[in-house]
Structure 1
Amino acid sequence: MRKRQASGTATTMDDGNLIRLIINLFAAGTETSSTTIVWFVLFMLHHPDVLAKIYKEIEDVVGRERAPSIRDRTKLNYLNACIMETQRLGSIVPFSLQHSCIKTTTVGGYTIPQGTVIMPILDFVLRFDKSWGDPHNFRPERFLDDSGNLKVFNEFVPFSLGRRVCLGKSMAKMELFLFLAGICQRFDIQPAVKGQLPPLKGVFGLAVTPEAYEVRFVEREM
């Protein structure tokens, strides 16, 4: 930015845009990953059997003597399936970014004039009955085949898709895996009050977050 300004080159790289980019990086990266973790913990409260399976997988693959590393990611398929199911059902970014149609186009029998502002609804795809069968149920097994390997669905689009796919997709997937593998290895996740589960209810904002809730992290014996 400074070099372009010093040379007198016409550029949009200025202090105002730099500040906006930094804000976008923090907002898009921090908010979405932390919100996904909060949804994951809430789903584990409602599905302790799933958490037990995750811990068993970590115990078998990683053990308890060391923390999970990114090298373990390809071996912890059930955990990955649970993260993917959290992203699908949590659907924390229901709308993708706005785009403008560059030429008049016909899609599904509808004519979209040039210049029309388009906003894809990712939530509709992530919870479409014909794609998922039981879209409103938390069922990580949908992402595993009969051999326990991860399945790929074209309809799994939490990061959007195509040329405008989220730039932080790879980093977010690594962050979620490392945080959640570490949490599940070290802690059992329990309700703050035994027998009382917080609601699975989202609040729409910058991202769709669960209603505020309390939780107990009980350290496992290592």
Structure 2
Amino acid sequence: MEKVLWIDIKCVFIFSCVFLLLSDYIRNKAPKNFPPGPWSLPFIGDLHHIENGRIHLQFSQFAEKYGKIFSLRILGSRIVVLDGYKLVKEVYLTHDDSLAGRPILPLFYDIVGDKGLVAATGYKWKQQRRFALSTLRNFGVGKKSLEPSISLECCILNEAVSNEQGRPFDPRSLLSNAVANVICVLVFGHRFEYSDNGFQSLLKNINEAVYLQGGFCAQLYNMFPRLMRQVPGPHQKIFTLWREVIDFVREKVNAHRVDYDPSNPRDYIDCFLGEMENLKGDTAAGFDVEDLCFCTLDLFGAGTETTSTTLYWGLLYMVKYSEIQAKVQEEIDRVVGGSRQLSLSDKENMPYTNAVIHEIQRIGNIIPMNVARATVEDIKIGKYSIPKGTIVTGNLTSVLFDESEWETPHRFNPGHFLDAEGQFRRRDAFLPFSLGKRVCLGEQLARMELFIIFSSLLQRFTFSSPAGVEPSLDFKLGATHAPQPYELCAVPR
């Protein structure tokens, strides 16, 4: 009897294994005429091919082996990767409408659903993006009217840096606070003091959550969401961190609803509340309180993390290359001087500084694998057929380091953005904000902040490594590509 029972258990086990393997094969079988890629294993896909923290560098290796259009099975499903500037540009512009979707990734979906500016698709996304662009423009984004807010924040940031009195310190939190405050004025109607511990903690939560979202456990969550929802691990902390940020945003939204005056909108939240009233009959447009919370979260979180990380790279490169820092300061002294507040209008007379900032963005490579898109219909890319609902990403690392576009792609070289006369020149392959209809919503704001904040810091201070410390360009890869934490000294000029 026991022998029969053991045989039955063994048969059930074998049948279950075969069934699961067949189910995985059928569910994840590559469609006909799909781009090639490495041999995937059942259940885990191509995770065994991926080095955690280096995937953006491995993409180029895969392209060398499988071609400029290749596929991987990660993020829970097959994705198509585009390699190189010419291909990314051609596909993103030729199939702009067809690539306007967003993939449904379990981890991201369990945090925000289909709400907000990043995750929304279709008609809802078009309405939300249209409204956000027009509202931010009305509050001065891309215009001179926003400059006083950025300049004020520069003065407060400079004072905070000065208070370090030349001692070694990590500038990350100060940079995050300064950039976040520019966003806060736009979306919340006010800024936060650098001494506000609650706000500092919130910014740290965003930074940590963004890092964890690029980790191994996050990838496992997207591949096995039902299992990972039940087990402990770093992925559970992602939800805790974002929950605190979302609660903060929701409190701000609720406070606005209490004292909202439709005749005098103060910020993005007030304008959204007005649009809720104007479009209350159009539920598909997504103008409701929950969408307001997540749209505000996208503007606040994404805008803070990317720009502050770029500035964090910028100061590190100035420490690493003191001769370039000195040339920037010479130009600032010549064009602006040491006493006048630097202005956005000075940019056209500061080609070298402008070139340095662009080179920081290029080599800093903040979003190395781009924000993934999804096809909203069947398309052809080259000779390959890409079904509706496929994740497609243009590898920005391959664009910003394309050896056919950049003279010295792997070296920090501001000359990439200077012509023979030393004047600033635009480069077609400079796409840190991506391109097409899903191009970064905050591009104009980021450009304003980067120039004014970076230049103001170098106008006031000379940055160097602490005594005996060799500056390191080591990075950490999460959802963004950031420097490893470092300290510097800021000496007043």
Same fold (TM over 0.5): yes
Find 1:114's aligned residue among 382, 388, 413. 388
Q: How much has 1:203 moved relative to structure 2?
A: 0.8
Find 1:207's aligned residue among 480, 483, 486. 480
The answer to whether residue 445 in structure 2 is matched with residue 171 in structure 1 is yes
The match for 1:9 is 281
C-alpha distance in 2 between matches for 1:50 and 1:7: 52
Find 1:58's aligned residue among 332, 338, 341. 332
The answer to whether residue 439 in structure 2 is matched with residue 160 in structure 1 is no
The letter for the 2-side match of 1:26 is F
C-alpha distance in 1 between matches for 2:480 and 2:341: 30
C-alpha distance in 2 between matches for 1:162 and 1:38: 27
Q: How much has 1:192 moved relative to structure 2?
A: 1.5
The answer to whether residue 341 in structure 2 is matched with residue 71 in structure 1 is no
The match for 2:489 is 216
Q: Deviations over 1:58-90 (max 9, x none)?
A: 111111121211110111111110111000001
Q: Aligned residue pairs: how many?
A: 219
Q: Which moved more, 1:160-169 or 1:9-18?
A: 9-18
Tell me the secondary structure at the aligned position of residue 154 of structure 1: coil
Q: How much has 1:35 moved relative to structure 2?
A: 0.4
The match for 2:316 is 42
Q: Deviations over 1:171-210 (max 9, x none)?
A: 110101000110111000110224x223101111232110
Structure 1 residues 216 and 16: alpha-carbon distance in aligned structure 2, compared to 1, 3 A threshold: same
Q: Which moved more, 1:8-17 or 1:42-51?
A: 8-17
C-alpha distance in 1 between matches for 2:404 and 2:348: 29
The match for 1:192 is 466
The match for 2:378 is 104
Find 2:303's aligned residue among 15, 29, 53. 29
Q: How much has 1:2 moved relative to structure 2?
A: 6.5
Greater percentage in helix: 2
C-alpha distance in 2 between matches for 1:208 and 1:97: 13
CA contact (8 A) 2:275 2:287 kept: no
C-alpha distance in 2 between matches for 1:127 and 1:186: 32
Larger Cα-atom Rg: 2
Q: How much has 1:6 moved relative to structure 2?
A: 9.5
Q: How much has 1:7 moved relative to structure 2?
A: 8.3
Structure 1 residues 149 and 6: alpha-carbon distance in aligned structure 2, compared to 1, 3 A threshold: closer
C-alpha distance in 2 between matches for 1:113 and 1:157: 26
Tell me the secondary structure at the aligned position of residue 111 of structure 1: strand
C-alpha distance in 2 between matches for 1:6 and 1:150: 45
C-alpha distance in 2 between matches for 1:147 and 1:7: 53
Find 1:146's aligned residue among 409, 414, 420. 420
Q: How much has 1:113 moved relative to structure 2?
A: 2.1
C-alpha distance in 2 between matches for 1:198 and 1:186: 21
Which structure 1 segments of 5+ residues have no match? none
The letter for the 2-side match of 1:121 is N
The letter for the 2-side match of 1:48 is S
CA contact (8 A) 1:192 1:214 kept: yes
The letter for the 2-side match of 1:200 is L
